[in-house]
Structure 1
């Protein structure tokens, strides 16, 4: 173990002050967030920072290729194909693990329209509606739908392969103890399974797990996502 490269992060609903861990006489540094395999993880264990970071990385990538995406010498259909290949792929990296809340949904959809507006050279002062922008590029909103399909598909992949036994245990497991006192915050308690259950219309987690193991029925479920 390289102690100098080892950090400590605490994931807890309660504030933890006594977090001292020593290895070979050296105290581990506590961090609030860290990047693992290109993805940001934090103490609150939500996807807000990661999604916002991916959007900014994708925006910067767009700006670097702006001359291509905004070139009038190329057909808009070709530019959109390039956009989906080089920009959407950057944005959607690791989206299978995201928990989509309302603010993140708005941010993702706003970035999608932002890219199309730049390609068409439409300023916000032109007062062109988002629907009109989509009509001009002959596209539908697809980023959020792609995220839904990839998240739901990945759940089926996990439950149909024995090598993901640990992941299955985590998803189906129950946390012992009582719930915290007070009104529930739906935004904070939004989780991966809650996302999938809302999108598929399957209210029971047990039923969802059973369907995930049936490739044919689960494929039909994915094709009819809300």
Structure 2
């Protein structure tokens, strides 16, 4: 939430300061709500442009498996409102609840300030995230670590009991999901791979969107005064 209010720093940016102070309470309230409405629009545009109020771009997402990188937080735009609790001395720009699992304001605050949460793996986490069969990346890892199978799986004429490191192609085409899990489990037991992480941190960088830069704020005040028949038209 951000507040728009009368103060010396703000009023120096606009004309007719004396007239602003002399406005009746209802007109002051109307003036502030018009300024706030303009800043709320700027806040929605910040999300559309994926930028901070001062114009710098948001931190990008981490690398995704897909090339498509959809824009972030677009759903929050429709929840940015000028609060009904605003009075003749201030106007609040906030987020209404929305249909998220948590209040949209809580979600917006987490992204604005940045957030760190600790994720924990349940006993089936790594099994659930295991791709079907053996991926090429997994096969390369197993080959690099020297994982062996009985040679007769690749060559029926090989000596009985002999073991070899299979090719990447063979593993991709023949290893089952269960065999890959077993292979990596064996390598971890042998100390050739680190154990699975039981927990890890997920960090969300700050992606502020509420507010506007100095130029937009100054224009918002000027337009609000013009609409109240003060200042130049």
Q: Which has the higher helix share?
A: 1
Q: TM-score range by the shorter chain?
A: under 0.3
TM-score by length of 2: 0.21
Give the structure, 1 or 2, with the largest relative contact order (CA under 8 Å, sep 6 or more): 2
TM-score by length of 1: 0.21
